[in-house]
Structure 1
């Protein structure tokens, strides 16, 4: 009922167990690059950024300035002039800036690839709204929110960073043998490599050395390399995890209470506060031979770290894992926990438990009951029952 780290070669050959497809397309990917106008909420406008598939608020002209400055892609005059009539589809929906032509900015219409000149910030604001499409609040709420933070200090006059609703955004590795670095420089130590089967979570964007045509680096969360760096040229956004729009709330849940929903089909875990999604992320649940148990349970013990082992006849291989992080057992040996041995989230991969990135597991661990103590092990009490986990 636990995790695997060692795999017998013949098992890999004989068993059709792996599912490495990109998570299914959802509203965040279908509307990528569009300006969305909330028809249910006074016509509020949002830009759905293709890079991270999050929406950014377009309430005032200064919001358009922020988006133009911080979410745009710089291109040379030569490239733009040669391609303006036939821009590649990967640029549709993006904002392009010509830094050597007075910083002129263009919004690339995601419907037909037309380059639309944005002009000054006030004009840009109205142009972007004019090219919007309507969306109702229920659908809009399925798209995670991000915002651009601006910080002023003595050393750096203006520094910007992005804040994402669910502590980062999910991306896929777009080629083989991608080096994972200790810091955002190509000369830093290589901690390992990732491949196209891997899904990682981008936590921060950092400027670093020019590598593979880009000086933008991502600090990542995942299983094997949390806190490490990958050059941005190797990462593409995937459809972001979408919480249940109409969750089936377990009957035991009271108003204002937290509970965990695990959608096994979509490989998405959502932390709810009654009917409001608080956090959503991709997971890996059990394979066909050791499926994740379905039903409603309560967390019966939390361990900051613990060992996990198993083997035949429950699973067709033997494993013995030490120091598995952020374990939340809810039924016997079934648990939600952090993972350090793979980065194949969004696919069935485990021996029955629900695998999370190390960062996501720590976050969920800190939010659910019983309240964490200074000890490694925490158990519920009569006055503090464990949080409900609903697997379906």
Structure 2
């Protein structure tokens, strides 16, 4: 073979190799080839994003098997320790809610250790630790206390409370979400008029009185449910398990709803929701 023939043969071989490579790269097989280094397909179908909704940070027990405010007879009680032989510290009422610190078992029965980690106005009136039998209620999760900050997103939601007819109206823009009768402040501790903002939310609050500058009446209300604070003086939209006198003046500045409706409003209204109190 002459040198010219060898060069021509080499040229054909190179040309054939180039054509084969181009054909291979454009083939359907190439689109699915495996990278040896990673053993992962170079081209794969995208996996649809599925959002994850984490549970709340804390667990709470909502009392569902307690006494009602007008009940007669025996009530399920919280005790000073796990087990019914321990001292009774409080008769539980339906609608209360308590933050769970731990869970313990005693004689085959589950007990929830609840702890008042909030600052009590009159701490000498109660023991700090209660034990509640699991049969008294159901466990829910929540993020706990939340406070308005500069990072809180803006919202179009707003709440109007009309003191003249004891009604609450919850709007998202111009769309009415909920309306119901509420209890509002008594003559000596009226609900303040004006426009406010929900700046703090907490699922459970131990409310005590007297309140300096508000009322001289003593009271103890542990486990007040679904609290939304709108004044620094302590005016709150919350559930009330101790009465059903909605449509009347009943509270110390606050707005009272039935606990189940307070829960719905609590979940719906974010921090920053505007609250307008009018008459």
TM interval, short-chain normalised: 0.3 to 0.5
Normalization by structure 1: what TM-score? 0.32
Normalization by structure 2: what TM-score? 0.44
